[in-house]
Chain A
Amino acid sequence: MPELVYGVWDGVPYDNRKTASPSAPPSLQLEALGSFDDGNAVSVLMSERGFLVFDDSVALLWALQKHFMKVASESCGKCSPCRTGAPLISNLLAKAMNNEADVDFGLLEDIARQMQETSLCGVGQTGPAPLLAALSFFPGELSKTPQDMKHGFYSTMTSPCIEACPGLVNIPRYIDYIKDGHVDLSANLVLRHYPLVGSCGRVCVRSCESACRRGKIDAPVSIRNLKRFAADKALASGLLKAAAVPLDKKEKVAVIGAGPVGIACAYHLLRRGYPVDIFEAKKEAGGMIRYGIPIYRLPKDTLQEEIAIVTSMGGKIAFEQKLGRDFHVDDLFAKGYNAVFLAMGCPKGSYLGMPDEDTSLTDYENGIDFLERVYEGVKAGKSPVLEGDVVVVGGGNVAMDCCRAAQRICNGTVHVIYRRTEEDAPADHEEIAAAKAEGVQFHFLTGQHSLLTDQGKITGIKVLDMERTEPDASGRRGVRPIEGSEHVLPCTHVIAAIGQMTDKDALVDKDQINRDRKNCIVVNSAQETNRPGVFAAGDCTSGPRAKGPTTMIMGMGQAYFAARSIERYLSHGQVSFDSRWRMTELIAQGNLMQNDEPTPKIPASRVELKELAPEERRHNFAEVEQTMTQEEAWAEAARCMRCYRIYSVVTAKHIPGGE
């Protein structure tokens, strides 16, 4: 564990230099701060909560000046105290470092306090914290001028919403660009992270909105819908155009799977000039978001336009080329690919596993197959028709997609049974509300028991009532069946929407790629597999970011880091350290980010999208949610409070990719 020498955290000073009983901030997980990159000790940490010095040989003045250069470079310039204050402080600190005599530390403190107490957003409000802490408690340290510093330095500006996003998308910045009138740059900013901007803007699970501090005042900023607005205004309108990029790198990459993860990884590699060939098992690209997400949530022309970004850049997609059937990993290396990225996803739906269940029954489907069948039908202009009542089993987003799709093509009633409570359902609760509005009947705390059939036709499903168990030690409540509660829900069709699995035939032993017991590829935080040159991400992987089937944004976030790893592997022969990702780990593991209450603001209501009325949705797959108007987007964007914070580390040695 690193030993704190001195510092200030949450306004409390610590000085262990002259004490026999050293102390440290109790809320901090100090053991997480031991090293930044491998074997490179953290010497100083600076954040919105103060600063911590672990190595007394570092001149605090130098560290603070570096930190303030970052603050000044990220100041947006809209509010007066930060726009002027940050560069003023930066300059005064630089003068102090040069031993200039006339540096007025009193003035420096006044400016820093002005900035902290009166700035509009997190940059100015939190950026001066370590400087003010030092001026208050350790002013003597600032008179020590640095000698020939050989330390490493890395700094990043982030926010609760950014840290909540698996793709680390700079959300406040793209919202600002909308507010500023640069919808093109807003979309462009998201395009730094992935090409499927409008698709993600429609279907993302938006962890960011759960983290949004505006929620503590009135309601979270409608982040996802703002992203969709930017995509609709800039990408769908043709304001932003994809063009061929110079593919000047010699090394080629094979990407397996043209789902969002494969597409995203290919896109990043193409941006960096690597030729990429994508091998897709199906006839069309898009993977689970083409086949699994119904058209009323994600129109496929939106998806197609965004996939076309990758092909316009020079990426090539070979269709109906399936790993394990048409080729193996060895074949790719033999063909001259220098790296392989595996993103086959989890294309197989799970059945319920009830006693004696017969999965060959035509009216007993898993959700994945059902949604694909509906997609193919709607695309061909003859959507399937479900006669009679339908029961969907499950409480996740796939179950919601299934029941809402079924509701559109069924002439009976659609039921959802889920063994836990509505609150426990992992589905987006707006999806549950939408399904209810469309007429889907929900049966929570209801478990499946067995299928009832007559001459190969389903006649119903036997279900049983569940009850909640008492909270366990962790406070979590389970469910258990209520004895004797079995009853029959008559129906003609049952859809199992409880999960999905990898394709067991894709990878074989001779591919020499380690998998876990669920057949998911084992990866590290760089998205490397055990086999050199083979990287993987998304639903088919199990790693520190996610295990098994996950969200689209998680997969695309992994793809972003995978592409960085592949680039480093191809250019340097090895995957090096990623400072930005490490900072996210540090923030999470060290419990660094302050969870403070925002200061009161005049409430402003969240913009809700206009929707087709439930009766307009029957028997069609027209997109339900309509994009915001320009006026709504400006108003919604203005609700963002830009809860930025800047984290800086000084390390003993140079940081790969740092300064």
Chain B
Amino acid sequence: MKLTLRVWRQSGPADKGRMVEYKLDDVSPDASFLEMLDVLNEKLIASGEEPVAFDHDCREGICGMCSLVINGTPHGPERNTTTCQLHMRKFEDGEVIDVEPWRAAAFPVVKDLVVDRSAFDRIIGSGGFITAPTGTAPEAHATPVPKPDADRAFEAAECIGCGACVAACPNGSAALFLGAKVTHLGLMPQGQPERWDRVVSMLDTHDEEGFGGCTNTGECTAACPKGIPLDVIGRLNHDYLKATAGGKKR
């Protein structure tokens, strides 16, 4: 395959950045998108240019590290697929492909296509957990969990924390990420004692980090490589209102 790539190059946080065009002549349709970028980088190194920096690690769709906006869509054209699992056969021969980083104030660009997503870690740290000091746990079968709840909690817990929801959201909101964690922990009986404090402090941190407000556009769930459903945001709102207006928060 022949391809024309327009890749965002930005040497560091202070640089303004620009799109730079590269041409590749011999890309295998069986290569993954990131392997195609590997090929580009080998070519750049051979000609003494600096290769394109991009985040990636497991390359099997679970670590959540890869984070490219491809032709205006986070993780590219294939639904429910991370960038690393996207293969070049999904593109046309001769296609022009734009590659950009996640764009959000809360995810500042580090270099080229690499962004800093530590805001997500701080959101989790502010409440996205169940307090269970090691060694204090009761016998696992002490608390049965109804299967439908466990299954729904699992679906929400599948979130890989990649940030595609933020990248896709016209408002730059991380409501889907928040909602996924609030739903996962809020559905488990173990998560009940901290349920109301959790949602308030996670949402507060979310706002402090500079994410935008949710207007229910649904772009997040369409971009989510794990297909986290939009109802987790409904649950987030429900719990938040109950905690604040409903006076459940301590």
Q: Do A and B come from one complex?
A: no
